[in-house]
């Protein structure tokens, strides 16, 4: 069967925790490592994914596709963020009261 969004979410969650555990974070340091500057998740979306340290949101590109091919990858050219190109979508840290 084809992979569903639920399957992809579960795969990325297990891969993220596995990466954090094997990179020396140990059981107690997994959450801190996931939100730290050294963590990167290879999820085969064109760039490595990270978690925002300030709200825990997964940063990832948005893939725009039709039934047979990839059409575009957002963020679109011309919309650059000062720290991460993956932060051009959504609300940024100074604009929210959401914290860890």
**Domains in the chain: boundaries:** 5-95
Stretch 92-98: mean pLDDT, rounded? Answer: 64
Query: Residue 75: what pLDDT?
Result: 63
Q: How far apart are CA 75 and CA 26, in angstroms?
A: 34
Judged against a pLDDT cut of 70, whether residue 10 lies above it is answered with: yes
């Amino acid at each position: 069967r084809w992979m569903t969004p639920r399957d992809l979410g579960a795969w990325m969650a297990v891969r993220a925790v596995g990466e954090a555990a094997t990179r020396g974070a140990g059981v107690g340091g997994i959450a801190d490592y996931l939100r730290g500057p050294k963590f990167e998740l290879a999820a085969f979306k064109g760039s490595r994914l990270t978690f925002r340290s300030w709200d825990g949101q997964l940063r990832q590109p948005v893939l725009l596709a039709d039934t047979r091919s990839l059409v575009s990858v957002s963020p679109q050219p011309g919309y650059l963020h000062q720290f991460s190109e993956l932060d051009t979508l959504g609300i940024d840290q100074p604009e929210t009261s959401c914290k860890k």
